[in-house]
Amino acid sequence: MTDAAERREQLKQVYLEASACTRCALAETRTTVVFGAGNADADLMFVGEAPGANEDKQGLPFVGQAGRLLDRLLAEIGLERGDVFIANVLKCRPPGNRDPRPQEIEACRDYLHRQVELIEPRVICTLGNFSTKLLRGDPTGISRLHGQAEVHVLGQRAVRLFPIYHPAAALYTPSMLETLRADFARLPELLATDPPPQPEVMEPVPEIEPEPEPAPEVAEAAPPGEPAEPEPSPDQLGLF
Protein backbone atom coordinates (compact mmCIF):
# COMPACT_ATOMS: atom_id res chain seq x y z
CA MET A 1 0.00 0.00 0.00
CA THR A 2 1.28 3.47 -0.89
CA ASP A 3 2.12 5.58 2.16
CA ALA A 4 0.95 9.16 2.67
CA ALA A 5 4.24 10.79 1.65
CA GLU A 6 4.39 8.83 -1.59
CA ARG A 7 0.76 9.62 -2.37
CA ARG A 8 1.49 13.33 -1.93
CA GLU A 9 4.39 13.12 -4.35
CA GLN A 10 2.27 11.27 -6.89
CA LEU A 11 -0.48 13.87 -6.50
CA LYS A 12 2.05 16.62 -7.22
CA GLN A 13 3.00 14.80 -10.40
CA VAL A 14 -0.67 14.66 -11.45
CA TYR A 15 -0.86 18.41 -10.76
CA LEU A 16 2.21 19.08 -12.92
CA GLU A 17 0.70 17.05 -15.74
CA ALA A 18 -2.67 18.81 -15.46
CA SER A 19 -1.08 22.28 -15.25
CA ALA A 20 0.32 21.85 -18.77
CA CYS A 21 -2.64 19.90 -20.17
CA THR A 22 -3.68 20.40 -23.81
CA ARG A 23 -6.08 17.46 -24.09
CA CYS A 24 -9.02 19.64 -25.13
CA ALA A 25 -9.76 23.08 -26.57
CA LEU A 26 -10.19 24.67 -23.12
CA ALA A 27 -6.39 24.92 -22.99
CA GLU A 28 -6.69 27.72 -25.56
CA THR A 29 -9.08 29.88 -23.50
CA ARG A 30 -8.16 29.27 -19.85
CA THR A 31 -6.08 31.60 -17.72
CA THR A 32 -5.10 28.98 -15.14
CA VAL A 33 -5.63 25.27 -14.60
CA VAL A 34 -7.66 24.86 -11.39
CA PHE A 35 -6.43 21.47 -10.23
CA GLY A 36 -7.98 21.55 -6.76
CA ALA A 37 -6.75 22.44 -3.30
CA GLY A 38 -6.83 21.21 0.27
CA ASN A 39 -5.64 18.37 2.44
CA ALA A 40 -3.99 15.55 0.50
CA ASP A 41 -5.10 13.12 3.24
CA ALA A 42 -8.66 14.44 3.49
CA ASP A 43 -11.47 12.11 4.56
CA LEU A 44 -13.93 14.47 2.88
CA MET A 45 -13.73 15.63 -0.72
CA PHE A 46 -16.02 18.00 -2.62
CA VAL A 47 -16.43 17.83 -6.39
CA GLY A 48 -18.09 20.69 -8.26
CA GLU A 49 -18.69 21.26 -11.95
CA ALA A 50 -16.03 23.58 -13.35
CA PRO A 51 -14.06 26.72 -12.41
CA GLY A 52 -15.72 30.11 -12.77
CA ALA A 53 -14.16 33.46 -13.60
CA ASN A 54 -12.65 34.06 -10.13
CA GLU A 55 -11.26 30.52 -9.96
CA ASP A 56 -9.77 30.87 -13.44
CA LYS A 57 -7.91 34.00 -12.34
CA GLN A 58 -6.67 32.70 -8.99
CA GLY A 59 -6.12 29.01 -9.80
CA LEU A 60 -8.12 27.93 -6.73
CA PRO A 61 -11.56 26.31 -6.50
CA PHE A 62 -14.57 27.93 -4.83
CA VAL A 63 -13.13 31.37 -4.11
CA GLY A 64 -16.32 33.37 -4.77
CA GLN A 65 -19.60 33.72 -2.89
CA ALA A 66 -20.40 30.01 -3.18
CA GLY A 67 -17.00 29.23 -1.67
CA ARG A 68 -17.61 31.52 1.27
CA LEU A 69 -20.93 29.80 1.93
CA LEU A 70 -19.20 26.43 1.71
CA ASP A 71 -16.69 27.60 4.33
CA ARG A 72 -19.55 28.69 6.59
CA LEU A 73 -21.36 25.37 6.26
CA LEU A 74 -18.14 23.51 7.05
CA ALA A 75 -17.59 25.63 10.16
CA GLU A 76 -21.08 24.73 11.39
CA ILE A 77 -20.04 21.06 11.54
CA GLY A 78 -16.63 21.75 13.08
CA LEU A 79 -14.54 21.63 9.90
CA GLU A 80 -12.61 24.13 7.83
CA ARG A 81 -11.27 24.23 4.30
CA GLY A 82 -7.88 22.91 5.40
CA ASP A 83 -9.58 19.67 6.53
CA VAL A 84 -11.04 18.81 3.12
CA PHE A 85 -10.04 18.64 -0.54
CA ILE A 86 -12.03 20.58 -3.15
CA ALA A 87 -11.91 19.91 -6.89
CA ASN A 88 -14.08 20.12 -9.99
CA VAL A 89 -15.05 17.76 -12.79
CA LEU A 90 -13.27 20.11 -15.23
CA LYS A 91 -9.94 21.69 -14.38
CA CYS A 92 -10.35 24.59 -16.84
CA ARG A 93 -13.12 27.18 -17.10
CA PRO A 94 -15.52 26.76 -20.02
CA PRO A 95 -15.91 30.12 -21.80
CA GLY A 96 -18.83 32.10 -20.45
CA ASN A 97 -19.37 29.43 -17.76
CA ARG A 98 -21.24 27.27 -20.28
CA ASP A 99 -21.93 23.62 -19.50
CA PRO A 100 -19.01 21.23 -19.94
CA ARG A 101 -18.98 19.32 -23.22
CA PRO A 102 -18.61 15.53 -23.47
CA GLN A 103 -15.11 15.69 -24.98
CA GLU A 104 -13.97 18.04 -22.19
CA ILE A 105 -15.35 15.73 -19.52
CA GLU A 106 -13.61 12.77 -21.11
CA ALA A 107 -10.32 14.68 -21.30
CA CYS A 108 -10.48 15.55 -17.57
CA ARG A 109 -11.97 12.33 -16.20
CA ASP A 110 -8.60 10.67 -15.58
CA TYR A 111 -7.33 13.60 -13.47
CA LEU A 112 -10.31 13.36 -11.12
CA HIS A 113 -10.06 9.58 -10.81
CA ARG A 114 -6.37 9.84 -9.96
CA GLN A 115 -7.09 12.52 -7.35
CA VAL A 116 -9.64 10.20 -5.72
CA GLU A 117 -7.25 7.22 -5.78
CA LEU A 118 -4.39 9.21 -4.21
CA ILE A 119 -6.33 11.25 -1.65
CA GLU A 120 -8.40 8.21 -0.55
CA PRO A 121 -11.39 10.15 0.84
CA ARG A 122 -14.02 8.35 2.93
CA VAL A 123 -16.82 10.54 1.54
CA ILE A 124 -17.15 12.53 -1.68
CA CYS A 125 -19.81 15.25 -1.77
CA THR A 126 -20.97 15.88 -5.32
CA LEU A 127 -22.08 19.50 -5.53
CA GLY A 128 -25.16 19.97 -7.69
CA ASN A 129 -26.66 18.21 -10.66
CA PHE A 130 -23.72 18.04 -12.99
CA SER A 131 -21.08 16.35 -10.85
CA THR A 132 -23.74 14.10 -9.28
CA LYS A 133 -24.91 12.77 -12.64
CA LEU A 134 -21.36 12.33 -13.89
CA LEU A 135 -19.90 10.54 -10.88
CA ARG A 136 -22.98 8.34 -10.43
CA GLY A 137 -23.14 7.54 -14.15
CA ASP A 138 -26.90 8.13 -14.03
CA PRO A 139 -29.22 10.95 -15.19
CA THR A 140 -31.22 11.15 -11.92
CA GLY A 141 -31.37 14.75 -10.73
CA ILE A 142 -30.04 16.20 -7.48
CA SER A 143 -33.51 17.00 -6.12
CA ARG A 144 -34.24 13.26 -5.82
CA LEU A 145 -30.80 12.26 -4.57
CA HIS A 146 -29.53 14.93 -2.20
CA GLY A 147 -28.71 13.74 1.30
CA GLN A 148 -28.59 10.05 0.32
CA ALA A 149 -25.23 8.28 0.52
CA GLU A 150 -24.32 5.58 -2.01
CA VAL A 151 -21.19 3.54 -2.71
CA HIS A 152 -19.75 3.83 -6.22
CA VAL A 153 -16.46 2.89 -7.87
CA LEU A 154 -14.53 5.78 -9.40
CA GLY A 155 -11.53 4.65 -11.39
CA GLN A 156 -10.08 1.90 -9.18
CA ARG A 157 -11.46 3.12 -5.85
CA ALA A 158 -14.80 2.52 -4.12
CA VAL A 159 -16.08 5.68 -2.44
CA ARG A 160 -19.19 6.79 -0.59
CA LEU A 161 -20.86 9.48 -2.68
CA PHE A 162 -23.09 11.99 -0.89
CA PRO A 163 -24.92 14.28 -3.32
CA ILE A 164 -25.86 17.74 -2.03
CA TYR A 165 -27.08 20.92 -3.66
CA HIS A 166 -24.42 23.28 -4.97
CA PRO A 167 -23.89 26.16 -2.50
CA ALA A 168 -24.65 28.56 -5.35
CA ALA A 169 -28.24 27.27 -5.31
CA ALA A 170 -28.74 28.80 -1.86
CA LEU A 171 -27.43 32.14 -3.13
CA TYR A 172 -30.22 32.26 -5.70
CA THR A 173 -32.88 30.50 -3.58
CA PRO A 174 -32.41 31.41 0.11
CA SER A 175 -34.90 28.73 1.24
CA MET A 176 -32.39 26.14 -0.03
CA LEU A 177 -29.97 27.06 2.75
CA GLU A 178 -31.79 25.00 5.38
CA THR A 179 -31.78 21.97 3.07
CA LEU A 180 -28.02 22.39 2.64
CA ARG A 181 -27.55 22.70 6.41
CA ALA A 182 -29.55 19.53 7.02
CA ASP A 183 -27.44 17.58 4.51
CA PHE A 184 -24.18 18.96 5.91
CA ALA A 185 -25.29 17.91 9.40
CA ARG A 186 -25.12 14.27 8.26
CA LEU A 187 -21.47 14.49 7.24
CA PRO A 188 -19.87 13.81 10.67
CA GLU A 189 -21.82 10.55 10.91
CA LEU A 190 -20.81 9.51 7.40
CA LEU A 191 -17.17 10.35 8.05
CA ALA A 192 -17.24 8.12 11.14
CA THR A 193 -18.52 5.19 9.08
CA ASP A 194 -16.01 2.56 7.93
CA PRO A 195 -14.93 3.09 4.30
CA PRO A 196 -16.45 0.71 1.76
CA PRO A 197 -14.55 -2.46 0.76
CA GLN A 198 -12.15 -1.77 -2.09
CA PRO A 199 -12.32 -3.67 -5.39
CA GLU A 200 -9.49 -6.05 -6.18
CA VAL A 201 -6.91 -4.46 -8.45
CA MET A 202 -5.58 -6.85 -11.05
CA GLU A 203 -1.82 -6.63 -11.44
CA PRO A 204 -0.87 -6.03 -15.08
CA VAL A 205 0.89 -8.89 -16.83
CA PRO A 206 4.43 -7.73 -17.65
CA GLU A 207 5.15 -7.48 -21.35
CA ILE A 208 8.35 -8.74 -22.92
CA GLU A 209 10.08 -5.65 -24.17
CA PRO A 210 12.31 -5.68 -27.24
CA GLU A 211 15.97 -4.96 -26.81
CA PRO A 212 16.41 -1.16 -26.61
CA GLU A 213 18.39 0.59 -29.28
CA PRO A 214 21.69 2.07 -28.09
CA ALA A 215 21.20 5.62 -26.81
CA PRO A 216 23.30 8.38 -28.33
CA GLU A 217 26.33 9.19 -26.23
CA VAL A 218 25.54 12.91 -25.99
CA ALA A 219 21.97 14.09 -25.38
CA GLU A 220 20.76 17.06 -27.38
CA ALA A 221 20.49 20.30 -25.46
CA ALA A 222 17.05 21.84 -25.07
CA PRO A 223 16.36 24.65 -27.56
CA PRO A 224 17.00 28.17 -26.25
CA GLY A 225 13.96 29.61 -24.53
CA GLU A 226 12.41 26.21 -23.80
CA PRO A 227 9.92 26.75 -20.93
CA ALA A 228 10.89 25.17 -17.65
CA GLU A 229 8.66 22.50 -16.15
CA PRO A 230 6.07 24.25 -13.93
CA GLU A 231 6.61 23.93 -10.20
CA PRO A 232 3.68 23.20 -7.87
CA SER A 233 2.17 26.36 -6.42
CA PRO A 234 1.91 26.10 -2.61
CA ASP A 235 -1.39 28.02 -2.75
CA GLN A 236 -2.90 25.71 -5.35
CA LEU A 237 -1.67 22.55 -3.71
CA GLY A 238 -3.07 23.57 -0.35
CA LEU A 239 -1.76 21.40 2.46
CA PHE A 240 0.40 18.97 0.53
pLDDT for 222 equals: 45
Give me the residue spans of the domains in the chain.
Answer: 4-191
pLDDT for 219 equals: 45
Residue 214 above 60 pLDDT? Answer: no
- Are 93 and 52 within 8 A, CB to CB? yes
Residue pLDDT, tens place only, 24-79: 999 999 999 999 999 999 999 999 999 999 999 999 999 989 999 999 999 999 99
* Neighbour-count burial of 204, counting CB atoms closer than 10 A to its CB (0-12 exposed, 13-18 middle, 19+ buried): exposed
Q: How confident is the model at residue 240 (pLDDT cuts 50, 70, 90)?
A: very low
Residue 235 above 60 pLDDT? Answer: no
Residue 134 above 90 pLDDT? Answer: no
Residue 121 above 70 pLDDT? Answer: yes
User: How far does Cα 101 stand from its chain's mean position?
Assistant: 17
Residue 225 above 80 pLDDT? Answer: no
Residue 159, strand partner residues = 152
Q: How confident is the model at residue 231 (pLDDT cuts 50, 70, 90)?
A: low
Distance CA 30, CA 27 (A): 6
- Among the listed ranges 112-121, 167-176, 200-209, which one has the minimum average pLDDT value? 200-209
Residue pLDDT, tens place only, 160-196: 999 999 999 999 888 899 999 999 999 999 999 998 9
Distance CA 178, CA 215 (A): 65
pLDDT for 154 equals: 86
The residues, ordered by sequence, that sit 6+ positions from 5 with a Cβ below 8 Å of its Cβ are: none
**Average per-residue pLDDT in the chain?**
87
User: Distances in Å between the alpha carbon of 99 and those of 62, 115, 132?
Assistant: 17, 22, 14
Pick one of 3.40.50.2000, 3.40.140.10, 3.40.470.10, 3.40.1390.30 as the CATH number of 4-191. Answer: 3.40.470.10
pLDDT for 228 equals: 46
pLDDT for 204 equals: 55
Could you give the angle at the alpha carbon of 142 between the alpha carbons of 138 and 145, nearest 5°? 80
Mean pLDDT, residues 89-117 taken together: 94
Q: Tell me whether strands 157-161 and 150-154 are parallel, antiparallel or unpaired.
A: antiparallel
The residues, ordered by sequence, that sit 6+ positions from 43 with a Cβ below 8 Å of its Cβ are: 121, 122, 123, 191
* Distance between start and end Cα atoms, the chain: 19
Q: What percent of the chain has pLDDT over 70?
A: 82
Q: Which of 145, 189, 62 is nearest to 135 (CA)?
A: 145
Quote the pTM value.
0.83
- Are 17 and 96 within 8 A, CB to CB? no
